[in-house]
């Protein structure tokens, strides 16, 4: 991780890590829980849960609103979380970190504010064909408001961007002189594809295009360094990175954030209010109207400190081992096809089985205590691209084991005996 605050990383030991997650001791339908729905929301280590609970038990005051002791403690804890996130993603300033309720809110903030700042009739916003609905719909809304056009980078059969469409390659019709914004996912939530975002960002910067990256699926699995990536904005959620739900971040370059208009009005984001005119607070508070999810933000900071305690390279190697083993064993099942076979992937496997509905399979896996996700995963255009209505998706985290992968494979085989 970038600029780690830990001098010494803890050795990776999956059983030691598992012991820190209380929910892994739960039974589902009388069976030990096998949790493979981490791309939807990851589980939380005990210290994150305790940090959030401790706020309510011992502080429970609003931030930046009072001089009393509890308010001061709440403010210090929230701003410590902001600094932790800054270090983790190697942002230049703490005020480059905007707290939101999640990736969806972060991208809506970006689309609303950038749309107002940049877009006019005939301008273009470029996204890719593998985007989550949260990185499609906000840009559609912005385009509709301002008369702009949404353009889509196509996807190959392996689940990667069609590189022939990228400037500098065989064809040059993704960016034009009307392109104002590029909004792309770092990692696909459905396919697990790790996209070459740094390369495309560099191409966009040459043309003065503002770049927005959806990092929801990357933040828990990759070394995210926003300065190295060169992006203008980077969005992610806390709950997919071992933190609480209802928390998120929008990182932004200081000079761009200064130019962007606020997208919500209310308390905290103001400097002076009169009935004639309002002036806005300095960063980051210009974009943080109202009382934030203070307990969640404190828990988010603790989740990032927890991740900093471990060697991210070792965790990535463990998750890749799970991915390779699951891929090999699942492909041995007759009629099973994996959707998304990119060379670079995180631990996500989406698959379909001939003659079997994903919902039926997911229900039977649940009866065996195995939690997977079924459906279109908020990527309906991507499902249409591959000609399927949905998939069964298993997504891995650092606390998953090879034995659990074997349980998944055995569970699929058992389910097929009932469905075929």
Give domain status of residue 2, yes or no.
Answer: no
Confidence of residue 14 (pLDDT cuts 50, 70, 90): very high
Same domain, 80 and 192: yes
Is a pLDDT exceeding 90 seen at residue 174?
no
Same domain, 112 and 252: yes
Last residue of a domain, one of 308, 341, 370: 308
| Peptide bond before residue 128 is cis, with ω within 30 degrees of 0 | no
Q: By residue range, what is the domain housing residue 262?
A: 51-308
pTM of the model: 0.95
Crossing angle for the helix pair 402-419 and 312-331, to the nearest 10 degrees? 30
Is a pLDDT exceeding 60 seen at residue 1?
no
Confidence of residue 67 (pLDDT cuts 50, 70, 90): confident
Give domain status of residue 256, yes or no.
Answer: yes
Same domain, 332 and 380: yes
Q: What is the CATH number of the domain that holds 346?
A: 3.90.1150.10
Same domain, 304 and 213: yes
- 94: alpha, beta or left? (left if phi > 0; alpha if psi -120 to 50): alpha
Could you give the dihedral angle defined by the CA atoms of residues 54, 59, 65 and 66, in that order, rounded to the nearest 10 degrees? Answer: -160
Q: Which residues contact 29 (CB under 8 A, 6 or more apart)?
A: 366, 367, 368, 369
pLDDT in tens, 232-278: 999 999 999 999 999 999 999 999 999 999 988 887 777 777 788 88
Give domain status of residue 14, yes or no.
Answer: no
Q: What is the mean pLDDT of the chain?
A: 94
Q: Which of 145-154, 212-221, 265-274 has the lowest mean pLDDT?
A: 265-274
Same domain, 240 and 301: yes
Same domain, 260 and 318: no
Average pLDDT over residues 366-384: 98
Same domain, 222 and 317: no
CA nearest to 297, candidates 94, 55, 73, 103: 55
Report the 10 Å Cβ neighbour count for 414: 14
Average pLDDT over residues 376-396: 98
pLDDT in tens, 33-42: 999 999 999 9
Note if 398 is an active site residue: no
Give domain status of residue 219, yes or no.
Answer: yes
From the candidates 143, 231, 378, 398, which is the catalytic residue?
378
Give domain status of residue 30, yes or no.
Answer: no
Same domain, 200 and 123: yes
How confident is the model at residue 184, as a pLDDT? 98
Same domain, 99 and 210: yes
Average pLDDT over residues 131-151: 98
How confident is the model at residue 167, as a pLDDT? 59
Q: Which of 21-30, 62-71, 228-237, 336-345 has the lowest mean pLDDT?
A: 62-71
CA distance 146 to 366: 45
Is a pLDDT exceeding 60 seen at residue 172?
no
Last residue of a domain, one of 308, 330, 364: 308
Same domain, 128 and 220: yes
Query: Bigger pLDDT: 330 or 173?
Result: 330
CA distance 399 to 360: 27
How confident is the model at residue 2, as a pLDDT? 40
How confident is the model at residue 145, as a pLDDT? 98
Same domain, 212 and 279: yes
Is a pLDDT exceeding 80 seen at residue 11?
no
Same domain, 66 and 209: yes
- Identify the bridge partners of residue 184 per DSSP, sorted by sequence position: 213
How confident is the model at residue 79, as a pLDDT? 97
Q: Which of 65-74, 91-100, 391-400, 408-417 has the lowest mean pLDDT?
A: 65-74
Give domain status of residue 46, yes or no.
Answer: no
CA distance 78 to 295: 8
Last residue of a domain, one of 308, 325, 355: 308
Is a pLDDT exceeding 60 seen at residue 205?
yes
Give domain status of residue 359, yes or no.
Answer: yes
Q: What is the CATH number of the domain that holds 170?
A: 3.40.640.10
Confidence of residue 403 (pLDDT cuts 50, 70, 90): very high
- Identify the bridge partners of residue 250 per DSSP, sorted by sequence position: 98, 235
pLDDT in tens, 292-334: 999 999 999 999 999 999 999 999 999 999 999 999 999 999 9
Rg (alpha carbons) of the chain, rounded to whole number:
22
Task: Find the angle CA(153)-CA(249)-CA(236) to the nearest 5 degrees.
Answer: 40
Give domain status of residue 146, yes or no.
Answer: yes
Average pLDDT over residues 167-183: 79
Average pLDDT over residues 111-119: 98
How many distinct structural domains can be found in the chain?
2
């Amino acid at each position: 991780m970038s600029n780690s605050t830990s001098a010494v990383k803890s050795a990776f030991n999956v059983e030691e890590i598992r012991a820190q997650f209380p929910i892994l001791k739960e039974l589902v339908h009388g069976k030990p829980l096998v949790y493979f729905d981490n791309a939807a929301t990851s589980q939380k280590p005990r210290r994150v849960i305790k940090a959030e609970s401790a706020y309510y038990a011992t502080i429970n005051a609003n931030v930046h609103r009072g001089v009393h002791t509890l308010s001061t403690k709440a403010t210090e804890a929230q701003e410590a979380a902001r600094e932790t996130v800054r270090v983790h993603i190697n942002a230049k300033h703490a005020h480059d970190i905007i707290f939101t309720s999640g990736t969806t809110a972060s991208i809506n903030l970006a689309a609303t504010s950038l749309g107002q700042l940049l877009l006019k009739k005939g301008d273009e916003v470029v996204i890719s064909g593998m985007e989550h609905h949260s990185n499609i719909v906000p840009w559609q809304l912005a385009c509709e408001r301002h008369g702009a056009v949404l353009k889509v980078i196509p996807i190959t059969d392996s689940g990667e961007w069609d590189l022939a469409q990228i400037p500098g390659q065989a064809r040059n019709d993704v960016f034009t002189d009307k392109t104002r914004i590029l909004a792309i996912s770092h990692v696909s939530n459905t396919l697990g594809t790790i996209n070459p975002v740094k390369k495309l960002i560099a191409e966009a910067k040459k043309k003065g295009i503002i770049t927005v990256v959806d990092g929801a699926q990357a933040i828990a699995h990759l070394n995210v360094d926003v300065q190295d990536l060169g992006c203008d904005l980077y969005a992610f959620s806390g709950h997919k990175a071992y933190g609480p739900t209802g928390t998120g971040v929008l990182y932004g370059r200081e000079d761009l954030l200064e130019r962007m208009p606020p997208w919500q009005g209310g308390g905290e984001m103001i400097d002076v209010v009169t009935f004639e005119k309002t002036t806005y607070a300095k960063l980051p508070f210009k974009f943080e109207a109202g009382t934030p999810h203070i307990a969640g933000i404190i828990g988010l900071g603790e989740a990032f400190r927890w991740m900093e305690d471990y060697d991210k390279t070792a965790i990535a190697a463990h998750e890749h081992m799970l991915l390779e083993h699951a891929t090999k064993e699942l492909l041995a099942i007759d009629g099973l096809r994996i959707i998304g076979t990119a060379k670079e992937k995180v631990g996500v496997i989406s698959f379909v089985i001939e003659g079997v509905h994903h919902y039926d399979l997911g229900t039977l896996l649940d009866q065996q205590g195995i939690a997977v996700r079924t459906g279109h995963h908020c990527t309906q255009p991507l499902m249409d691209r591959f000609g399927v209505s949905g998939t069964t998706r298993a997504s891995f985290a650092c606390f998953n084991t090879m034995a659990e992968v074997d349980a998944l494979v055995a569970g699929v085989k058992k389910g097929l005996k009932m469905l075929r």
